[in-house]
Amino acid sequence: MLNAIIYALLSAIKISIVVGILLGTIAYLIWVERKVMAHMQVRLGPMRVGWHGLLQPIADGIKLIFKEDIIPSQASKVVFVLAPVIATVPALISIAVIPFGNTISIAGISIDMVITDVNIGILYILAVTSVGVYGIILGGWSSNNKYSLLGALRSSAQMISYELSLGLSLIGVIMISESLSLVDIVNSQAKCWFVILQPLGFLIYAISAIAETNRCPFDLPEAETELVAGFHTEYSSMKFALFFMAEYANIITVSAVAVTFFFGGWRGPFLPPVVWFLIKMALCIFFFVWLRSTYPRFRYDQLMKFGWKILLPAALANILITGLVMVML
Amino acid sequence: MLEGLLFIIMGLITIVCALCVVFQKNPIYSAIFLIQTMVSLAVLYVLLHAQFIAAIQVMVYAGAIMVLFVFVIMLLDLSKTDVEAGRDNLLFQKPSAVILGFILVVMIGIVTLKTVFQGTKGEYTPESISQIGNTQLVGKMLFTKYVFPFEIASILLFAAIIGAIVLAKKQIIEDKKV
């Protein structure tokens, strides 16, 4: 009985810490993105609120809460309200199986630095994130606006297409480590990071992860030059903010998966594991921002052709090569 | 005890959602309830210690197939007259649904009577599965004992893909002629 209580308490503490850090990071990611992009374009970015605009996320949050919440008169109301929630919740809960440190022991109790280590680990992440696409589709449909609907249709086609390559690109790593659990995958990278053994797999993962999170150069669902703002055109106030939170939470999740699968997870010399994990993740997130300020957007037919005719065969070839090499050696 | 309670609650939610799929007028709402049904079924699988099947259920049914459903419903954009016109043409649907439903209930009943109430225990209990690993066991079974049905299913899917290509290709050729 005591063990059960301790377990429940520990889980609650871990969940609140991880979710708290996650939400804080999301708020400051927007500031980081604005700052980094500004400096890349020889501007200064937000400077007014706090030192170098450090309090900008708080100001933005307060502004969004107090804004008028508009629901279009022809919208289907229940779905319209539900859509941002459907987008955000899967994005937040997919972080649950990511290990962010080695097992530590405090006062005789050993604590795993992961919320829960399930034996289907990566399948859980893929399953949960695949539900997130409904937020975008239903949001676009329920707004009763042609631009929203076009954005939603584009995004659903894009996400289905790139989800395949995303899943297949990870199979090479799973084959080598012989486990779906993310803790085991980190442990099997003690000698050599999988990015060295699986360079093609990593490349495919990186490209499809950017497409899955609807980020530039694959941000067609919200292409502002042609679709106003895409699927969230009609959204305002906190509902709009929820869509943004979902986008940044997804960026954090795919970065965390990239670190776990290809860059050795929390492993690294000298510094504590959690710090290593955060450093690697920050570099991955920086890569996203860097891409956004560098590349123009794809055209829609190019995106589909690239996804189905290049990425998917390449991902399948990667599995075949991995299998052949593993049998030969 | 707690698991049993959760199972009953989730089962009720699943049934209510499944009924809502049938009784909703708007096809999009039906689709949304169908998604909810799939997700609740996945929860039932988790409660039955079949985590792999649960993940696949959400990924394939809720995540991929239902997206296509919603996609098609949105593109079709049925107006009210279309829906009412379509209703008259499907008179044979009701009796065939009743007959097929009856057969399904009888089949499920027979299987339930054969296994659950007789209390026969299979080779793979939750304890032995958790030792070998859920995913490993499913994979092993698919490639040894059930390899024939597995391959048959793949041929079936292949035939469906070819059928879809033939249908789409016909349309493209007709468009080119015009």
Residue B104, pLDDT > 90, answer: yes
Residue B160, pLDDT > 80, answer: yes
A138 in B contact zone (CB under 8 Å): yes
Inter-chain contact A120–B35, Cβ cutoff 8 Å? Answer: no
pLDDT level of residue B101 (50, 70, 90 thresholds):
very high
pLDDT level of residue B178 (50, 70, 90 thresholds):
low
DSSP string, A257-305: HHHHHHS-TT--SSS-HHHHHHHHHHHHHHHHHHHHTTPPPPPHHHHHH
Q: Look at residue B63 in the predicted model and tell me its pLDDT.
A: 80
- Measuring CA to CA, which residue among A224, A223, A220, A222 is closest to residue A232? A222
Report the mean per-residue pLDDT for chain B: 82
- Nearest CA of chain A to the CA of B155: how many Å? 19
Chain B residue closest in CA terms to A120? B52
- Nearest CA of chain A to the CA of B64: how many Å? 7
Inter-chain contact B134–A141, Cβ cutoff 8 Å? Answer: no
Inter-chain contact A123–B39, Cβ cutoff 8 Å? Answer: no
Residue B19, pLDDT > 80, answer: yes
SS3 for chain B is CHHHHHHHHHHHHHHHHHHHHHHCCCHHHHHHHHHHHHHHHHHHHHHCCCHHHHHHHHHHHHHHHHHHHHHHHHHHCCCHHHHHHHHHHCCCHHHHHHHHHHHHHHHHHHHHHHHCCCCCCCCCCHHHHHHHCHHHHHHHHHHCCCHHHHHHHHHHHHHHHHHHHHHHHHHHHHHHHC
Helix, strand or coil for residue A111?
strand
Tokens for B27?
A: 């096809």
Overall domain count for chain A:
1
pLDDT level of residue B86 (50, 70, 90 thresholds):
low
What residues of chain B, 62 to 101, have a C-beta less than 8 Å from chain A? 62-64, 67-68, 70-71, 74-75
Q: Look at residue A61 in the predicted model and tell me its pLDDT.
A: 83
- Segment A252-263, tens digit of pLDDT: 888 888 888 888
What residues of chain A, 20 to 79, have a C-beta less than 8 Å from chain B? 76, 79
Q: Look at residue A307 in the predicted model and tell me its pLDDT.
A: 85
Distance (Å, rounded) from C-alpha A15 to C-alpha A6? 14
- Measuring CA to CA, which residue among A125, A99, A124 is closest to residue A112? A99
Minimum-distance CB partner of A160 among B51, B58, B67? B67
Contacts of A133 in chain B (CB under 8 A): 63, 67
Residue B52, pLDDT > 80, answer: yes
B2 in A contact zone (CB under 8 Å): no
**How many interchain CB pairs under 8 A, A with B?**
71
ipTM: 0.79
Minimum-distance CB partner of B71 among A123, A124, A156? A156
- Tell how far CA A316 is from the center of its chain: 23
A304 in B contact zone (CB under 8 Å): no
Contacts of B32 in chain A (CB under 8 A): 79, 138
Minimum-distance CB partner of A134 among B26, B35, B55? B35
Residue B119, pLDDT > 80, answer: no
Given a contact cutoff of 8 angstroms between Cβ atoms, the answer to whether B80 and A151 are in contact is: no
Contacts of A134 in chain B (CB under 8 A): 35, 67, 70
Contacts of B35 in chain A (CB under 8 A): 131, 134
Q: What is the pTM of this model?
A: 0.82
Q: Look at residue B107 in the predicted model and tell me its pLDDT.
A: 92
Residue B54, pLDDT > 80, answer: yes
- Nearest CA of chain B to the CA of A221: how many Å? 14
Q: Look at residue B152 in the predicted model and tell me its pLDDT.
A: 93
Q: Look at residue B82 in the predicted model and tell me its pLDDT.
A: 62
Distance (Å, rounded) from C-alpha A179 to C-alpha A171? 10
Q: Look at residue B105 in the predicted model and tell me its pLDDT.
A: 93
More confident residue, B155 or A9: B155
Q: Look at residue B85 in the predicted model and tell me its pLDDT.
A: 63
Q: Look at residue A156 in the predicted model and tell me its pLDDT.
A: 79
- Best of B28, B33, B140 to substitute, by most chain A Cβ atoms within 10 angstroms, is B28
- Measuring CA to CA, which residue among A197, A123, A206, A199 is closest to residue A162? A206
| Overall size of chain B counted in residues | 178
Low-confidence residues in chain A, pLDDT < 70: 107-109, 221, 223-225
Question: Which domain covers residue A323, as residue numbers?
Answer: 2-328
Inter-chain contact A79–B39, Cβ cutoff 8 Å? Answer: no
B53 in A contact zone (CB under 8 Å): no
Q: Look at residue B30 in the predicted model and tell me its pLDDT.
A: 86
More confident residue, B117 or A236: A236
Inter-chain contact B67–A138, Cβ cutoff 8 Å? Answer: no
Average of pLDDT values for B86-111? 83
Inter-chain contact B51–A120, Cβ cutoff 8 Å? Answer: yes
Q: Look at residue B177 in the predicted model and tell me its pLDDT.
A: 67
Q: Look at residue B100 in the predicted model and tell me its pLDDT.
A: 93
pLDDT level of residue B156 (50, 70, 90 thresholds):
very high
- Nearest CA of chain A to the CA of B91: how many Å? 31
Tokens for B140?
A: 């092993």
B154 in A contact zone (CB under 8 Å): no
A97 in B contact zone (CB under 8 Å): no
Contacts of A180 in chain B (CB under 8 A): 135
pLDDT level of residue B102 (50, 70, 90 thresholds):
very high
Contacts of B64 in chain A (CB under 8 A): 130, 160, 163
B111 in A contact zone (CB under 8 Å): no
Tokens for A275?
A: 């710090």
Residue B159, pLDDT > 90, answer: yes
